[in-house]
Amino acid sequence: MSILLDLFLTFAKIGLFTFGGGYAMISMIENACVEEKKWINHDDMMNVTVIAESTPGPIAINCATFVGFRQKGFTGAVVATIGMVLPSFSIIFLISIFIDNFLTITWISNAFQGIKIAVGVLILDAAITMIKKMHKKPIPRIIMFCSFAAMLSINIFSWRFSSISLMLVAAVVSLVIFLLQEPPLQKGDVAQ
């Protein structure tokens, strides 16, 4: 099978059968792209997740675009992105045309209650997988636990503090620690 068709079908399957947005899709993307297809490695997945979270656009679409670009350049990026977007767009478009009050249908409303629980489990699974595979160095772990505690406190006490601001603070702290730990390059040294 051609790689472009494989990219399209892989991301179309993820886009079609995953509810709950990008975070819920991370574990499926990792399973398909890292474990089954071996298009990227786990470190690439961690990096693209962080980059996709801090750039505009949905995280799953950004991940699909990255994987597609890695495999077949610009064309691969377009094909993978269309594969990710097309199924959900088509479903929502059809729902908007044919059913006026979609969620007022009892069996659909009940199904979505169950889907909410499954989405929470998928997001938790993605978080646990990323934590397990995170480098075992103390600084990243400390930053992670402090960020988790801060986010939990923000949610519990309903403080007005954006998660983007929290990510920026963590990035600045990490950068400062990195700069303080790295010895300055001497003339003639080659950066690794």
pLDDT the model gives residue 7 = 93
Tokens encoding 119: 């989405």
Question: For residue 192, is it within any domain?
Answer: no
* In the block, residue with structure tokens 């991370």: 26
**Sequence-separated (6 or more) residues with CB below 8 Å from residue 71:** 3, 7, 39, 80
Residue-wise pLDDT tens digits, 20-74: 666 778 888 888 998 899 999 888 888 888 787 777 778 888 889 999 999 999 9
Identify the three-state secondary structure at position 10.
helix
Tell me which residue of 35, 12, 7, 139 sits closest to 86, measured CA to CA: 12
Judgement on whether residues 49 and 33 belong to the same structural domain of the protein: yes
pLDDT the model gives residue 147 = 84
Identify the three-state secondary structure at position 75.
helix
pLDDT bracket for residue 126 (50, 70, 90) = confident
H or E element that contains 59:
helix 59-98
Tokens encoding 56: 């505009």
Average pLDDT over residues 75-94: 90
Judgement on whether residues 151 and 114 belong to the same structural domain of the protein: no
Has residue 122 got a pLDDT over 80? no
Q: How many domains does the chain have?
A: 2
Judgement on whether residues 148 and 111 belong to the same structural domain of the protein: no
**Sequence-separated (6 or more) residues with CB below 8 Å from residue 55:** 62
Judgement on whether residues 29 and 119 belong to the same structural domain of the protein: yes
Judgement on whether residues 92 and 142 belong to the same structural domain of the protein: no
Round to whole Å and give the CA distance between 19 and 81: 17
Judgement on whether residues 12 and 49 belong to the same structural domain of the protein: yes
pLDDT the model gives residue 52 = 78
pLDDT the model gives residue 21 = 67
pLDDT the model gives residue 100 = 64
Residue-wise pLDDT tens digits, 4-14: 999 999 999 98
Boundary (domain end) residue, out of 117, 134, 151: 134
pLDDT the model gives residue 43 = 86
Question: For residue 167, is it within any domain?
Answer: yes
- For residue 105, what is the DSSP state? S
Judgement on whether residues 123 and 141 belong to the same structural domain of the protein: no
Residue-wise pLDDT tens digits, 140-183: 788 888 888 888 888 888 888 887 788 788 888 888 888 888 66
Has residue 103 got a pLDDT over 80? no
Containing domain of residue 146, as a range?
135-183
Greater confidence, 188 or 179?
179
Contacts 24+ apart (CB under 8 A), 117-125: 118/19, 118/20, 119/19, 119/20, 119/21, 119/24, 120/20, 122/18, 122/20, 122/23, 122/24, 122/25, 122/27, 122/28, 123/20, 123/23, 123/24, 123/26, 125/27
